[in-house]
Chains A and B, each alone.
Chain A
Amino acid sequence: MGTLRPPRAVIAGVGHTSFGKHPGTSAWRLQVDAFRAALEDCGLQASDVDGLFTESQFSEPLLMHGSLLGRQLGLRPDVLSTQSQGGATCMSLCQTAAEMIDRGMCKVAAVVYGDNAKTGMPNIYGLAQMGRGQADFVAHGLLGGPAMEALSAMRYKHTYGVTDEMFGSVAVAFREHAVATSHAQYRDPLSMEAYLASRYIAEPLRLYDCTIASDGGACIILTAPEVAADLARPAVRVLGMGQAHNLDGLRDRDHYTHFAGARASKTAYAMAGLGPDDIDVAQFYDCFTSTVLITLEDYGFAPKGEGGAFALEGNLRIDGGRLPSNTDGGMLSCGNVTGWGQVIEATKQLRGDQGPRQVQGAATAICSGHGGFQANHATMILAVA
C-alpha cells in the first residue's frame, strides 16, 4: 500500500425520506425523493451533479442500476458507478466518489440508495443475492440475515463469554437515542427486561438484536472544498477511508469473531492521522448487536473480547458514554438504509445542531459499513472542516 493521504473532498449535503411503512411507494420514488432532499439540504441543483454513485435496491436486484436511476433523475453525469458489497456499499461508493472528486473527474457527486424493504419485498435474504451453487445452504434452512449472522454471534459468545446483557446493552442504548430522534422509526423506550423477554429470531439473536426493516431512501452529496465554501451548510471533511474484504470465509477460523473491520479501520486511521482515542462519535453498521460489539474491538475501542463489557458500562450512550454511538438509534431503531444512515448521522453530528441527541463538541466521527455476512467492510472517518 502506498502513502495514504486524505482526499480533497467534503460532504456537503445529506437527505433522506421518512423511515417506516410506505406501501405502494416504489424504490425508485424513494431514491428520487432522497436525491431531492439532499440537494435541498445543501442548496445545489440537479444540474450541478456530475457524478452518480448507486447501489441497486435489494427488492429488485438490477444490473446497470445507476443508468436506470440516472434517467429518472434527468442526469448526464461525467462519472457513474454502481457497486454491490452489501452493507459496505455506501462507504465504498463514497470513497470512490471522494477519489474522483480529488482527481478532478467530477465536482458534485450524489450517492443514492432507496428501497421499500418493509412493505415491498419478501424477507428472504440469501436466495436471490447469491449465485447458483454458491448458496446451497438454503436447503438446510439457513435463510435470512439474522440466521446467517447468528453463526458469527454464537461463536463470538462462546469464545469470549459474552452475556445476553452485553448484547442487550447495545439495543437499549441505541433505542434511548432513537427516543430523542424525531425521525426515528421506533421511539418507544426499551428496557433491559423487555430486551431479555423478547423472542429469539435465531439464537443467540433476539428480536431487538436485529436490524429493523424500513421503506426509505437516502442520499449523500460529496463535493470539492471550493464548491462547498459557497454553500449554506457547513461542510464535513472526509479525513479517512479504508476497506477490507475477507472473501476466503472460514478458511481462517477467526473470521466469525474478527471482521475485516480491523484492516479497514487501520487504513482509515492511518490516512486520517488519528487513532481510536481521537474519535468523538461513532456510527456503527448495526445490522445486529453482535456486529457492533465485534466492530468496537476491530476498531480498537476495546480489546478483543471486551467490546461487550465496554457497551455494558454505558460507553455507547450519548449521556456520559466514552464513545456515543448510533446517535439517531441506528438501524436497530431509527431506520435501515443499509449504511447510508451511518454517514448521514455522522455528518449531522459534526454540523453540531442535533438538539437533544447532539454530542457536545463532536469534531471527529467514525462510520462502519459491514456486509456480505462477515465478508465486506468499509470505514470512513469524518471531521469538521
Chain B
Amino acid sequence: MSSQWEIPKPEPTKNEETTPFWEGTAAGELRFQECEECGNRQLPAAPACVACLSPKVVWRASAGRGTVFSYTVIHHAFHPAFAAEVPYVVADVELDEGPILVSGIRPVDPAAVSIGMAVEVWFEPMADNPEYVLHWFRPAGGES
C-alpha cells in the first residue's frame, strides 16, 4: 500500500502540442499560441486555433506580466509530494496579452494575495527533474 503513495511530484508532459511551451520556460520565456488567421491567443496549447480551427498557430513570447484572475490557498496536501509546502497559492493568471494560465504564486504571504493583483513571471527548474523548468509568479515589482 505504501509504495502506491510514494510517487514523485507530478511533472508536466512534453508532446507535439506542449513541447514549444516547455522549451520556452527552459529558455526563460513564457510562450502562448497566436492564430495567424484570426488573432486569437490561447493557452493551454492546442493542435489548432480553438476560435477558428486554423492550424496556423504560432508561438509568441509573453512579457511575463499579468494579474490574478482567481486563486486558492491550498491547505490540504492532496499529493504527498506537496505535504511540506502547504499552505501554498495556486492561481489562474491572466496575462497582459490575454490568455489565462495556471501557475503558483511564490514566494508570497498567502494572506496578501487578492484577485486583480499584479504579478510577474519567474522560472525555476523542477528539483526532481531539471529537464522541466516551471513558470511561477510573484507580486509585480518584487526582487529578482
A152 in the interface (beta carbon within 8 A): yes
Sort A-B residue pairs by CB-CB distance and give the 9 closest, nearest first: A144-B78, A150-B72, A137-B102, A136-B12, A155-B70, A138-B10, A203-B73, A140-B104, A143-B78
Interface residues of A in 130-153 (CB under 8 A from B): 132-134, 136-144, 146-147, 150-153
Please indicate the chain B residues that have their CB under 8 angstroms from the CB of A153 in the complex. 72
Among candidates A127, A141, A250, A251, residue contacting B74 with C-beta atoms closer than 8 Å: A141
CA distance A154 to B89 in the complex (A): 12
The smallest beta-carbon distance between B39 and chain A, in angstroms, is 13
Please indicate the chain A residues that have their CB under 8 angstroms from the CB of B56 in the complex. none
Residues of B within 8 A of A (CB): 4-5, 9-15, 17-18, 42, 44-45, 50-51, 69-76, 78-79, 82, 85, 87-88, 90-92, 100, 102-104, 110, 115, 126, 132, 134, 136
Given known pairs A124-B79, A250-B100, the reply for A140 and B69 (CB within 8 Å) is no
Q: B115 and A147: CB pair below 8 A? A: no
Q: B75 and A139: CB pair below 8 A? A: no
The smallest beta-carbon distance between A59 and chain B, in angstroms, is 12
Q: A147 and B70: CB pair below 8 A? A: no
Q: B15 and A133: CB pair below 8 A? A: yes
Please indicate the chain A residues that have their CB under 8 angstroms from the CB of B51 in the complex. 251
Q: B71 and A151: CB pair below 8 A? A: yes
Please indicate the chain A residues that have their CB under 8 angstroms from the CB of B134 in the complex. 139-140
CA distance A71 to B17 in the complex (A): 39
Q: A256 and B70: CB pair below 8 A? A: yes
CA distance A24 to B51 in the complex (A): 48
Given known pairs A141-B90, A143-B82, the reply for A155 and B76 (CB within 8 Å) is no
Please indicate the chain B residues that have their CB under 8 angstroms from the CB of A142 in the complex. 74, 90, 102
Among candidates A133, A141, A146, residue contacting B13 with C-beta atoms closer than 8 Å: A133
The smallest beta-carbon distance between B22 and chain A, in angstroms, is 9
Q: B72 and A154: CB pair below 8 A? A: yes
Q: A132 and B15: CB pair below 8 A? A: yes
The smallest beta-carbon distance between A44 and chain B, in angstroms, is 40
Most buried by A among B4, B5, B70, B73: B70
The smallest beta-carbon distance between B141 and chain A, in angstroms, is 22
CA distance A154 to B71 in the complex (A): 7
Please indicate the chain A residues that have their CB under 8 angstroms from the CB of B74 in the complex. 141-142, 144, 147, 150, 201-203
Most buried by B among A124, A139, A155: A139
CA distance A301 to B91 in the complex (A): 31
Interchain residue pairs with CB less than 8 A apart (7) = A136-B44, A138-B79, A151-B72, A154-B71, A158-B70, A203-B73, A256-B70
The smallest beta-carbon distance between B86 and chain A, in angstroms, is 9
Q: A139 and B76: CB pair below 8 A? A: no
CA distance A154 to B12 in the complex (A): 25
Identify 14 new A-B residue pairs, CB closer than 8 A, beyond the known A141-B85, A155-B69, A203-B74.
A122-B4, A123-B78, A139-B9, A140-B90, A140-B103, A141-B82, A144-B76, A146-B78, A147-B90, A150-B72, A153-B72, A154-B71, A158-B70, A158-B115
CA distance A150 to B70 in the complex (A): 9
Interface range for A: 35 or more
Q: B76 and A202: CB pair below 8 A? A: yes
CA distance A203 to B102 in the complex (A): 16
CA distance A152 to B72 in the complex (A): 9
Q: B90 and A201: CB pair below 8 A? A: no
The smallest beta-carbon distance between B72 and chain A, in angstroms, is 4
| B73, closest chain A residue (CB) | A203
| B126, closest chain A residue (CB) | A139
Q: A154 and B76: CB pair below 8 A? A: no
Given known pairs A139-B134, A250-B100, the reply for A199 and B75 (CB within 8 Å) is yes
Please indicate the chain B residues that have their CB under 8 angstroms from the CB of A58 in the complex. none
A160 in the interface (beta carbon within 8 A): no
| A137, closest chain B residue (CB) | B102
The smallest beta-carbon distance between B71 and chain A, in angstroms, is 6
Interface residues of A in 228-275 (CB under 8 A from B): 248, 250-251, 253, 256
| B91, closest chain A residue (CB) | A151
Q: A203 and B103: CB pair below 8 A? A: no
Most buried by A among B10, B72, B79: B72
CA distance A244 to B100 in the complex (A): 23
Interface residues of A in 203-232 (CB under 8 A from B): 203-205
Given known pairs A140-B102, A155-B69, A202-B74, the reply for A122 and B5 (CB within 8 Å) is yes
Among candidates B70, B79, B100, residue contacting A143 with C-beta atoms closer than 8 Å: B79
Q: B70 and A154: CB pair below 8 A? A: yes
